[in-house]
Chains A and B, each alone.
Chain A
């Protein structure tokens, strides 16, 4: 099972990002756990400055915007 963290201080874009990932994961039948990480200190440890950012299995793979559907599907299937 993939653990996916969405980093961001709780703004609308971060919520949308988390929802998008959950929706696509359900569609593709991939088993994931999506966590919204809002703590500034934790976000800092990933070296992220523009949110929303996406971390999959402790690897930072995206930051600064809501990811596209194509991107998210790609991450989920890899």
Chain B
């Protein structure tokens, strides 16, 4: 269903601009035009449709839902909601504190916050169109697993010991009153979702589409641009020869490089496509890209407001181990498919 974009790029790059099919520049430019056009079209249509459906979902409702839930299902639901609930990464601290003061365990809150940047509608769409559905399913499963297991781990070491004191107190207060809080939430009359009209949903979806598109279009261009450069100019086989399967250290090195770097999923997925196309092993690619998306220096600095250094260091080490494992496992098993 995506051939139109190939034709469009053929026409623009080869016919109109007069590039030759055989040159590297023509090849790179064709790749860039085709992917950008395809991604932009998909984004506009799909963000609107998805926003229409989830118009009534927001962090406040997720909190009320998660508060007082049994821990067993809590992690899975935390990660699941993280994947589908839209929120700006600049809200992570208020969300963290909001969840915490509702008495939700740190592990469940972190399952939500870790999964949220990794999986969202834009990421899933890009993966589907660039790397196919099998890869997309794999990506979602890993993203959820990192959230769930990370959350379980943090609670098992009682990570709440290393919160900043005001956050720890808020958690304690929240847990004492969480029973009454959920009871209160249940008795609240009719939730907004039932009362939202089609027009309201349309307005929300339109605003959401423009907002998200306005935010991500430059990332798409940067990501696809980098991808196109890799595609056209890095010699075939270079990546495979230097960073291929043989080097076990390439995975932890990629993750160590990726964690402090910041990108969002939108920018990084086109780069993933190129890296895999150029022969970088799937596990190494996944490990690098997921670690750039899941964590970054600016985010750690924000988290410092609510966590002590010790917990931040643990979080960093945990992510390093998690993504390294993901990388190794996939480098080992993926070629067997």
**At the interface, yes or no: A60 with Cβ under 8 Å from chain B?**
no
B305 and A40: CB pair below 8 A? yes
Decide if A51 is an interface residue (CB 8 Å cutoff): yes
Closest to B306 in A: A40
Scan A34-78; emit 1 where CB is below 8 A from any B CB, else 0: 000000110110011111000000000000100000000000000
Cα–Cα distance between A11 and B87 once the two chains are bound (Å): 13
Taking a contact as CB atoms under 8 Å apart, the answer to whether A47 and B90 are in contact is no
* Residue of A9, A10, A11, A14 ringed by the most chain B CB atoms within 10 A: A9
Decide if B97 touches A50 in the complex (CB within 8 Å): no
Distance from B56 Cβ to chain A, minimum over Cβ atoms (Å): 13
What's the minimum C-beta distance from B222 to chain A, rounded to whole angstroms? 18
Shortest Cβ distance from residue A38 to the other chain B in the assembled complex, whole angstroms: 10
Question: Which residues of chain B have C-beta atoms less than 8 A from A49's C-beta?
Answer: 59-60, 63, 91, 94-95, 97-99
Q: CB-CB < 8 A to A13: which residues of B?
A: 88, 90
Q: Which of A11, A43, A64 contacts B97 (CB 8 A)?
A: A43
- Greatest chain A CB density within 10 A among B90, B91, B93, B166 is at B91
Asked if B302 lies at the interface with its beta carbon under 8 angstroms from chain A, I say yes
Point out the residues of chain A lying under 8 angstroms from B95, CB to CB.
49-50
CA–CA, A56 to B63, complex, Å? 25
> Does chain A have a CB within 8 A of B216?
no
A12 to B, closest residue via Cβ: B90
If A13-B88, A40-B306 touch, does A64 touch B94 (CB 8 Å cutoff)?
A: no
Closest approach, in angstroms, between the C-beta of A63 and any C-beta of chain B? 9
Query: Bound complex: CA of A25 vs CA of B90, how far in Å?
Result: 26
Q: What's the minimum C-beta distance from B174 to chain A, rounded to whole angstroms?
A: 11
B50 at the binding interface (Cβ < 8 Å) = no
Given A40-B306, A44-B101, A64-B58, decide whether A50 and B166 contact each other with a Cβ distance below 8 A: no
Whether B98 contacts A9 by the Cβ 8 Å rule is no
CB within 8 Å for A44 and B88 given contacts A49-B63, A50-B60:
no
Evaluate contact between B58 and A50: CB separation under 8 angstroms. Answer: yes
- Is there an interface contact between A50 and B170, defined as CB atoms closer than 8 Å? no
Q: How far is the CA of A44 from the CA of B306 in the complex (A)?
A: 11
B306–A50 contact, CB under 8 A? no
Are the C-beta atoms of A51 and B166 separated by less than 8 Å?
A: no
With A and B bound together, what is the CA distance between A69 and B230 in angstroms?
A: 45
- Determine whether the beta carbon of B88 is less than 8 Å from that of A43: no
Which one of A10, A14, A41, A49 has the greatest number of beta carbons of chain B within 10 Å? A49
Q: With A9-B302, A40-B305 known to touch, is A51 a contact of B91 (CB < 8 Å)? A: yes
Cβ A51 vs Cβ B58 within 8 A: no
Q: In the complex, which residue of chain B has the Cβ closest to the Cβ of A43?
A: B94
Residues of A within 8 A of B90 (CB): 8-11, 13-14, 51
Docked complex: A1-37 residues within 8 A CB-CB of B = 7-11, 13-14
- Complex-state Cα separation, A51 to B58, whole angstroms: 12
Interface residues of B (CB under 8 A from A): 58-60, 63, 87-88, 90-91, 93-95, 97-99, 101, 166, 170, 302, 305-306
**20 extra A-B contacts, CB within 8 A, seeds A43-B93, A44-B97:** A7-B94, A9-B93, A9-B94, A9-B302, A11-B88, A13-B90, A44-B98, A44-B101, A48-B98, A49-B91, A49-B94, A49-B98, A50-B58, A50-B87, A50-B88, A50-B91, A50-B95, A51-B88, A51-B94, A64-B58
Binding site for B on A (CB under 8 A): 7-11, 13-14, 40-41, 43-44, 47-51, 64
